[in-house]
A = this chain, B = another copy of it.
């Protein structure tokens, strides 16, 4: 199978971690998001939202939406199981992952895009911007790119986004009070989803994360798993990400 992804994308990181946990071999196809690879017609043909990641099976069929790619991998390759078997805990896993998708991901757009994409997008001519926007298939992403190119997120918006992201740290801390993992009973794709976001919170507000010993221990235990190195969760800080091998779509 092939994974179309981006090294710094939170959703891509979740899928890379899940693939690594399950020891599934795949062809890595990193997209250059600043070049707009994800909006090219040949990519939108396999991912109608024009976002990463997309998993493409050997017969050409595709699966998108990180949460559902992770569930697919767990359905397809049952061992090691990465979701609870109890129906209620399984529902909690899904509800928590959707909370992250719907309520936390928008904060990361505000916090991350200014770093990686704004320096380049702000230099586009009006015509270049118009061409870029015309290729973006969803209104919310057109709006986000338009903001990045012409009307960057303000310090107030960034600080609200950080405050929003930090609510997840508190939530994870609460969840870890009764279990070593966010969903009772076992390490799951919910831990993987949360890890990616808490990792970014830690980069942005290290002191606040360090104050929560349960969260610190949980982060450490996940980072010691062999999957973590394999999935290449490179830091946003210090430009390490730029050194990861890139390949054009």
Residue numbers of A with Cβ under 8 A of B are 57, 61, 63-65, 67-69, 71-72, 75-76, 87-88, 90-92, 94-95, 98, 102
Contact = CB atoms under 8 A, between A and B. Distances in A.
B98 A75 contact: no
B76 A94 contact: no
- Provide the main secondary structure of the chain A interface: helix
Copy number in the complex reads 2
Contact of A68 (B63, B75, B91): B91
A90 B69 CA distance: 11
22 contacts: A57-B88, A63-B88, A63-B91, A63-B92, A63-B95, A65-B94, A65-B95, A65-B98, A67-B94, A68-B91, A68-B94, A68-B98, A69-B91, A71-B90, A71-B91, A71-B94, A72-B87, A72-B88, A72-B90, A72-B91, A75-B87, A76-B87
A2 to B, nearest CB: 15
Contact of A64 (B57, B61, B64, B95): B95
Nearest to A63: B91
Contacts of A76: 87
Contact of A95 (B68, B75, B88, B92): B68
A15 to B, nearest CB: 12
A83 to B, nearest CB: 11
Contacts of A94: 65, 67-68, 71
A234 to B, nearest CB: 28
A110 to B, nearest CB: 14
A192 to B, nearest CB: 17
Nearest to A73: B87
Among A67, A69, A90, residue most surrounded by chain B Cβ atoms (within 10 Å): A90
A99 to B, nearest CB: 9
A168 to B, nearest CB: 14
A67 B71 CA distance: 14
A98 B90 CA distance: 17
A88 B68 CA distance: 10
